[in-house]
Amino acid sequence: MAGSHLSVVIDLSPSQWHLSSLHQPYPLDISAFISQLLAFLNAHIAFKHENTLAVFGAFPGKSTLLYSSADPPAETPSNDANYFPPLKLVDSTMMHRIVQNLETLTQNNGDDKAPSALVGALTKALCYINRLTLEFNAATTNATEGLEPLALPDSRILILSVSPDQTASYIPVMNSIFSAQKLKVTIDACQIYGPDTVFLQQAAHLTGGSYIYLERRDALLQYLTMAFLPPPSVRQTISVPTQDKIDFRAACFCHKNIIDVGFVCSVCLSIFCQPVPVCSTCRQVLLTKFPFKTLQRLNAARSSLPSSPSQPRNSSAPSSPQKTNGRTPSRTEAPLGPGGLPHSGSISLNNSTTNGAISSR
């Protein structure tokens, strides 16, 4: 049986790690984090001979490949009888490249307050898995016989984040999630420091992965080995901790704010925080305007909505089409589903809430 592939995306924002090292009661600094991470990566390599590994670093404004078992670095580690060479190779290569990247960051007077390029690193991880999938299919007979390409078995991405959500990256994150679903890649996420991130919760939920908010940061390695070391195929037989509460809110395309109630363009599924006459995303294609009367009605209904930011979001309406099992009702399911056809040549804005408070007709 083939091994499993693990791509790890690590958030290496110096400012966020500095805050994490000062945060009581469980401070965790970057060096302690890296030593625990290396132990986890070594465990994955040692788990099975066929296991493969890639590590991507998200630095402020830049993402880069730190280690790949498919392209092993040229330098061979010195012979140390107490060290298994593949493990030594991971450790020395990772450390070397992290230090190198952080040094160039300071040399170039880089803005270390810039947000981490987490999405860039995630996209690179997906491209990497896509490449492995192509190689995997070329090695099997499926490609030559014109059959459906196979997904790389047991491939997953683990995101270790210390940064808060960047609402501007909502669209690229959602696109990455769709790509991951298509590649049958599981995305796991662990928020080590800072507030819960809505986007990583959704990424894990929509790809069948696990999202963990680290309460006890000193127990990082324990969380990593217990929850994230078993490959997805094994997790069906063990109990991996998952979030029982998922924040399904989306960010509006106009202001990049995370919103409770939104309006969805039924043509391109763009999300807006208020009804707009022309969809800013697809207006190039559809130059028709939304009827002014309907707009007025939508706006009026919006102001009379019971939903406000202070209202708890877990009130499941009886008209909700989904079984929510006590979770917050999904508000982003609507943009994921098929949109209605434009009504008599105009763009119709459908309300994305599941509580049916607003009818778009």
Please report, as ranges, the residues that interact with Zn ion according to CB under 5 A: 252, 254-255, 265, 267-268, 270, 273, 279, 281-282
| Phi, psi of 97, rounded to the nearest 5 degrees | -75, -35
Give the CA distances from residue 312 to residues 242, 272, 327, in Å, rounded to whole numbers and listed in that order: 21, 21, 12
Angle made by CA atoms 108, 114, 115, in degrees to the nearest 5: 135
Nearer to Zn ion, 114 or 268 (CB): 268
Nearer to Zn ion, 200 or 279 (CB): 279
Q: How far is the CB of 342 from Zn ion (least distance, A)?
A: 9
Q: How far is the CB of 314 from Zn ion (least distance, A)?
A: 24
Q: How far is the CB of 257 from Zn ion (least distance, A)?
A: 5
Nearer to Zn ion, 160 or 269 (CB): 269
Nearer to Zn ion, 222 or 257 (CB): 257
Nearer to Zn ion, 123 or 266 (CB): 266
Q: How far is the CB of 345 from Zn ion (least distance, A)?
A: 14
Q: How far is the CB of 226 from Zn ion (least distance, A)?
A: 40
Residue 283: Cβ-neighbour burial (10 angstroms; 0-12, 13-18, 19+): middle
d(CA 233, CA 230): 8
Kindly report the number of other CB atoms within 10 A of residue 274's CB atom. 16
Q: Are 360 and 349 in contact (CB under 8 A)?
A: yes
3-state class percentages of the chain: helix first, strand second, coil last, to nearest 5: 35, 15, 50
